[in-house]
Amino acid sequence: MAFWGAPLIQENHAMLGVRTGYDMVKRLHQLQVIWMARGLPKLNVGVGINSGPMTVGNVGSTMRFDYTVMGDSVNLGSRVEGVNKEYGTNIIVTEYTHAIVKDKWVCRYLDLIAVKGKKEPTAIYEVFHPVDEEPEAALKRPDGFLEGWDEAIRLYRAQDFETAKEHFEALLDLYADDGPTMVYIERCELMAEDPPGEHWDGVFVMTHK
């Protein structure tokens, strides 16, 4: 775990956190090429970032203590980190971090989820790359992909699951290895067979960490 904004105030804490996660993933992708060439197994990483108030300071006794952070905001960040495994993503930020960095980073809306242990839903976003930097292939999507994604999500939330599935399937023609797209195709199939009803709020409840 890493945190910014303490013990010294850092007004750009969210930007620093996202940049760190991005640099980690970018370097990992470079290493994966080397490892695969050597016949080594592929390793992956998930980064979860949240912004909010928390308790920070020395925790423990006079014999042993740790300078750390605690609170709901910390727990949410930890839960979001684990959500990467569900969607096949590398970097997920909460709506609170996204609101701060959205003008500087290319992101896409992923889902509205209730993480395990919390009833209040949180919108989550995947981070791709800075808006003013040309990313490597693994960290970008083809032209038109994100626009198509937004339309597919709109149809999904409108409960037009059959049409949404068609749009998600078309996205795989643009980028075949997109994890979230495959997740939504499967979800659309399930929703079409068993519609959630008119009072559906679109929240996906995570049942494990």
pLDDT for residue 208: 67
Q: Report the CATH architecture of 141-202.
A: Alpha Horseshoe (1.25)
CATH no. of 1-131: 3.30.70.1230
pLDDT digits (tens, 9 = 90+) for 74-123: 889 989 999 999 999 999 999 999 999 999 999 999 999 998 877 889 99
pLDDT for residue 185: 98
pLDDT digits (tens, 9 = 90+) for 153-187: 999 999 999 999 999 999 999 999 999 999 999 99
> Can you tell me the mean pLDDT for 143-147?
94
Smallest CA-to-CA distance from 108 within 181, 45, 12, 160 is with 181
Q: What pTM, to 2 d.p., does this model score? A: 0.92
Q: What residue spans in the chain does CATH classification 3.30.70.1230 cover?
A: 1-131
Host H or E run for residue 125? strand 122-130
pLDDT bucket at 38, cuts 50 / 70 / 90:
very high
Please list, in sequence order, all residues whose beta carbon lies within 8 angstroms of the beta carbon of residue 67, skipping any fewer than 6 positions away: 7, 56, 57, 58, 59
Q: What residue spans in the chain does CATH classification 1.25.40 cover?
A: 141-202
